[in-house]
Amino acid sequence: MNVFDTDVATAIAQEVAAQVGELRFNLWFKENARLEMTDHELVVGVPNLFFQEWLSSNFLAPLRKAVQVVTGQRVPVRLVVDAEMFRTQRSREHATAPKTSAGESPVAAAAGEAKRPTRRGQTFDNFVVGPSNRLAHAAALRLVDDPTAQFNPLVIYGSLGLGKTHLLRAIAHGVRERHRGLQVLYMSAEAFTNSFLEDMRAGRLGTFRQRMRHVDLLLVDDVSFMASKKATQAELLHTFEALDAEGKQVVLAADRHPRQIKDFSDSLVDRLLAGLTCPIEPPDFDTRVNIIESKVRTLGLALRRDVVEFVATHFRTNVRELEGALHSLKGQAELNGATITVASARQTLDELIRHSTKTVTLKEVEQAVCQTFDVRADQLRSASRSRAISQPRTLAMYLARKYTGAAYEAIGEHFGGRNHSTVMFAERKVQRWIDEASTLLFSGRPWQISDVIRAIEQRLK
């Protein structure tokens, strides 16, 4: 590990390894973090923004705990991009980048050539970045910089209409442009499945495997389609193993966390989680405003700021809803030839807004938790204190408070006639799990608390 030669920094590194395990430590810290203990803080140097985002999101709690164990004090932890590490990584990437037959870099060779078209212009240039997708975007950019199999596979997951396909197509486009010597294959899971079954029935499995396993970068969209298709899942797993063995990269997109895809084999789930999983959440208000402003420019539509904010306020679930609203407003503007106001936008979008707005009830929170953990509603309301029931119940009360706005008394009454102090305790407990980035056991499997909550929220949204 790159650390300053101090006993304290070395001890902290060893403690982090003990907490997160040697495998995760070697993947995220060994070559990618430099620790320096000052008089008042631990500074963690990293080579780029991607590592800064990822370590901050996933390893801040273990770093803080390691410092406290070693020093006996609570000391702030600060992650920074280290200039020397950044330059070293860039030099390594340039040294390993593919060359053309003339010896020039792929970027230079591509400069005078026409760009390969990408469906609907789905490139990084028009992908709007915000807190909800920053990690996935940073991982995608890093993969384009260095398409060797560092985080394999890269799994991007989230609900419909949040930009997963856009990112996969942007990765494919970026790698084709920057690394001309690499073979890139993008396809949907449905296309992978149909091609596999067709070639298997025709006795051409060798041809199928030749096509899939002799690429440098394989991107498969919507792998949730493969649920219950055991033969296709096995073929995808074997394809991944073959590519990974040769240092080739695989990128997958799914509509939910791999653990939440029903009827996925345990071996496939475990292999997917051995790589890097990046969630994409619904965009926040500021990101929605930026998305709208980007799309109105593309549509050639003039919207006043108050209209933009009106649309951003009422369409919150996904980007496709925003696109649908903007197309409706464009149609109104072309039909009437009048300036669009908030009043006219409200009238035009009234039906879409009614369908977009969702009020979450206690019953819906209960159902989402039950579906996520495969427990029954009567179990959540029971007096059972077993961890398999009490932890989902605690999460249900926390999310009920967050999403329904119901009083503590009403939530407690719904979940088995409990008093308001029980709900308040559940709220504090889950918040502590979140603050400490806890890993909990659910259904016999370890889950990051952020992934658990995200899985339930996906069902609610």
Kindly give the pairing relationship between strand 249-254 and strand 154-157. parallel
Q: Is the pLDDT of residue 190 over 60?
A: yes
CA–CA separation, 249 and 359 (whole Å): 41
In 10 A of CB 405, how many CB atoms? 10
| 123 lies in the same domain as 252 | yes
Does 1 fall in a domain? no
Residues in the chain: 461
Q: What is the DSSP letter of 262?
A: T
Does 103 fall in a domain? no
Mean pLDDT of 267-292: 87
Is 273:439 a contact under the CB 8 Å cutoff?
no
Instruction: Give the domain-ending residue among 236, 262, 279.
Output: 279
Instruction: Give the model's confidence band at 5: pLDDT under 50 very low, under 70 low, under 90 confident, else very high.
Output: very low
Specify the pLDDT at position 102.
38
Does 98 fall in a domain? no
Cross-strand partners of 184: 217
What is the largest distance, in Å, between two alpha-carbon atoms of the chain? 76
Specify the pLDDT at position 352.
79
| 397 lies in the same domain as 413 | yes
- Sheet of strand 184-188: strand arrangement: 184-188, 217-221, 249-254, 154-157, 276-279
Does 102 fall in a domain? no
> Could you report the per-residue pLDDT of 220-245, keeping only the tens digit for each?
999 999 988 899 999 999 999 999 98
Phi, psi of 261 (to 5 degrees): -85, 105
In terms of pLDDT, which residue wins out, 198 or 48? 198
Instruction: Give the domain-ending residue among 38, 59, 84.
Output: 84
For the chain, what is the mean pLDDT?
A: 82
Specify the pLDDT at position 86.
81
Q: What is the DSSP letter of 152?
A: S
Is 344:311 a contact under the CB 8 Å cutoff?
no
Which of 9-18, 110-119, 380-389, 408-417 bottoms out in mean pLDDT, i.e. has the lowest? Answer: 110-119
> Could you report the per-residue pLDDT of 318-365, keeping only the tens digit for each?
788 888 888 888 888 888 777 888 888 888 888 777 766 667 889 999
Residue with tokens 């996969």: 168
In terms of pLDDT, which residue wins out, 67 or 108? 67
Does 39 fall in a domain? yes
The CATH number of the domain where 57 resides is what?
3.30.300.180
| 174 lies in the same domain as 229 | yes
Q: What's the domain range around 401?
A: 362-460
Q: Is the pLDDT of residue 2 over 50?
A: no
Is 116:146 a contact under the CB 8 Å cutoff?
no
CA–CA separation, 34 and 265 (whole Å): 38
| 369 lies in the same domain as 305 | no
| 213 lies in the same domain as 71 | no
Kindly give the pairing relationship between strand 42-46 and strand 77-81. parallel
The CATH number of the domain where 391 resides is what?
1.10.1750.10
CA–CA separation, 241 and 247 (whole Å): 10
- For a pLDDT cut of 90, what percent of the chain falls above it? 23
CA–CA separation, 1 and 29 (whole Å): 7
The CATH number of the domain where 168 resides is what?
3.40.50.300
| 218 lies in the same domain as 248 | yes
Specify the pLDDT at position 203.
85
- 3-state DSSP percent of the chain in helix, strand and coil, to 5: 60, 10, 30
Confidence (pTM): 0.65
| 269 lies in the same domain as 145 | yes
Give the distance from CA 323 to its chain's centroid. Answer: 22
> Which of 104-113, 378-387, 435-444 is modeled with the greatest confidence?
378-387
| 264 lies in the same domain as 140 | yes
- For 51, the token pair is 């590592």
| 327 lies in the same domain as 376 | no
Does 2 fall in a domain? no
Instruction: Give the model's confidence band at 377: pLDDT under 50 very low, under 70 low, under 90 confident, else very high.
Output: very high
Residue with tokens 């499945």: 193
| 138 lies in the same domain as 264 | yes
| 317 lies in the same domain as 436 | no
Does 66 fall in a domain? yes
CA–CA separation, 280 and 164 (whole Å): 8
| 52 lies in the same domain as 124 | no
Does 220 fall in a domain? yes
Give the H or E element holding residue 246: none
Instruction: Give the domain-ending residue among 279, 305, 330.
Output: 279
Specify the pLDDT at position 117.
39
Q: Into how many domains does the chain fold?
A: 4
Is 150:26 a contact under the CB 8 Å cutoff?
no
H/E/C letters for each residue in 71-106? HCCCCCEEEEECHHHHHHHHHHHHHHCCCCCCCCCH
